[in-house]
């Protein structure tokens, strides 16, 4: 009974039923407020739907652009116009991110890890999908004035920037490489750098894969450390020898980078995470392939001359040797086979990257490695 008496002496205090009651609105006032809010939202949605689906297309529809495309174009265009209202400027950064995302996704290929887009001599960068008012320009990585994307005729490596009204902003983590044509080679050299001649350079190649590369990448002391993919640097393609001669020149195929990066990703999935690879051999000039060092075991039509082959070893500890991948406490041919098996699974999933997989056991000169190439047909050794 004492508890019941206490209830009458000290009535229970209840919490407000809603945030509006907390603000001092009575239940009746709250219902009125909710009705007005619902009406305003309905009016907004009705106007928005009308602008998209029912607004007269006028002259734009005659030009083959439906109302939705017109509205999307206007929303994208407005922030770029020089007379754009200040409140719309926040869309600019979003446009940069969207362009960068699309460009990097295309250049990154299947692995998403390729960081260069290679243009053949005379080839132009396709930027046709840009919104009105925006343009892409290329800035040389070693300094200099930007040029329009279609005017990058000089061989080099370029950063991609997006020009919007009066502003120029970095637009991508992918670099564009424009190749120097083979016609720049005189008597087997470009400048002082000896290259030699490719088989069938003057024509008559039995297969397209034996046609000489369309051009070469100019490599300098300043750009050789740039990453052309997540784990591969430009310097990894350099031919051995001619250490004191600069600039140097290499052939490089992005699809080879893609295959290497996909193999690294497959190794991670199978319990062998890769932080670093050691590149035994990347590009080989025709002259080196024929005469440099010990030519034994080199094919006369080695894929290394075409920029679509690499000899690699997993080297997480950075000692320049293959790691013990199978955990048996030794470095043997079995470790190279772990990489080869991962590459086999990559080819099964990506037939467009089919090519050679060669397993090399340790010797006195190296600790074993795997050859990967994208020649276009299956080869194993």
User: pTM of the predicted model, to two decimals?
Assistant: 0.75
Nearest CA to 227 among 276, 281, 288?
276
In angstroms, how far is the first alpha carbon of the chain from the final one? Answer: 95
Work out the pLDDT band at 10, boundaries 50, 70, 90.
very low
Query: Token pair 């034996």 is at which residue?
Result: 210
CATH (residue range 183-380): 3.30.1380
Dihedral, CA atoms, 335, 338, 339, 345, nearest 10 degrees? 170
Is residue 63 scored above 50 in pLDDT?
no
Instruction: For residue 131, give every residue at least 6 positions away whose Cβ sits within 8 Å of its Cβ, in sequence order, or none.
Output: 73, 76, 77, 80, 95
Least confident of 45-49, 115-119, 196-200, 337-341: 45-49
* Per-residue pLDDT tens digits for 330-360: 999 999 999 999 999 999 999 999 999 999 9
Peptide bond into 183 cis (omega under 30): no
**Rounded Cα–Cα distance for residues 57 and 28 (Å):** 45
Beta strands 156-164 and 134-140, pairing class? antiparallel
Residue 71 CA to residue 320 CA, distance in Å, equals 57
% residues pLDDT > 90 (the chain):
58
Structure tokens at 346: 């990559």
Q: Residue ranges of the domains in the chain?
A: 17-81, 92-178, 183-380
pLDDT band with cut points at 50, 70 and 90 for residue 70: very low
pLDDT at 125: 87
What's residue 3's pLDDT? 39
Give the position of tokens 């407000």.
Answer: 16
- Four-point Cα dihedral 230, 193, 189, 202, nearest 10: -30
The per-residue b/e assignment along 204-228, b for 16 or more CB within 10 angstroms, e otherwise, is: eeeeebbbbbbbbbbbeeebbebbb
pLDDT cut 70: percent of the chain above it: 73
Higher-pLDDT residue of 84 and 199 is 199
């Amino acid at each position: 009974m004492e508890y019941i008496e206490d209830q009458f002496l000290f009535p229970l205090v209840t919490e407000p039923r809603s945030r509006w009651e907390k603000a001092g609105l009575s239940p009746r006032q709250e219902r009125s407020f909710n009705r007005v809010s619902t009406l305003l939202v309905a009016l907004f949605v009705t106007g928005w739907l009308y602008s998209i689906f029912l607004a007269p297309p006028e002259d734009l529809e005659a030009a083959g652009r439906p109302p939705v495309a017109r509205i999307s174009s206007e929303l994208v265009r407005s922030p770029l116009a020089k007379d754009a209202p200040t409140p719309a400027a926040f869309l600019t950064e979003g446009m940069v991110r969207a362009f960068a995302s699309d460009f990097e996704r295309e250049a990154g290929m299947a692995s998403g890890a390729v960081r260069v887009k290679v243009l053949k001599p005379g080839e132009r960068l396709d930027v046709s999908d840009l919104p009105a008012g925006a343009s892409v320009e290329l800035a040389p990585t070693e300094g200099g004035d930007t040029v329009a994307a279609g005017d990058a005729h000089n061989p080099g490596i370029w950063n991609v920037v997006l020009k919007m009204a009066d502003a120029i902003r970095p637009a991508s983590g992918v670099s564009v490489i424009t190749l120097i044509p083979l016609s720049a080679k005189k008597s087997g050299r470009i400048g002082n750098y000896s290259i030699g001649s490719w088989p069938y350079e003057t024509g008559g190649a039995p297969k397209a894969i034996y046609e000489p590369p369309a051009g070469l990448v100019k490599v300098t002391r300043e750009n050789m450390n740039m990453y052309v993919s997540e784990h591969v640097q430009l310097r990894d393609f350099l031919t051995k020898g001619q250490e004191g001669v600069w600039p140097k020149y290499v052939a490089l195929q992005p699809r080879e980078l893609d295959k290497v990066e996909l193999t690294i990703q497959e190794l991670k999935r199978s319990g062998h995470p890769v932080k670093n690879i050691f590149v035994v051999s990347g590009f080989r000039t025709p002259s080196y392939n024929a005469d440099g060092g010990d030519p034994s075991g080199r094919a006369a039509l080695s894929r290394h001359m075409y920029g679509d082959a690499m000899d690699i070893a997993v080297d997480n500890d950075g000692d320049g040797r293959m790691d013990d991948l199978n955990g048996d406490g030794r470095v043997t041919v079995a470790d190279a086979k772990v990489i080869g098996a991962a590459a086999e699974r990559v080819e099964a999933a990506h037939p467009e990257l089919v090519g050679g997989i060669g397993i090399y056991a340790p010797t006195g000169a190296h600790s074993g490695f795997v050859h990967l190439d994208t020649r276009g047909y299956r080869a194993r050794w």
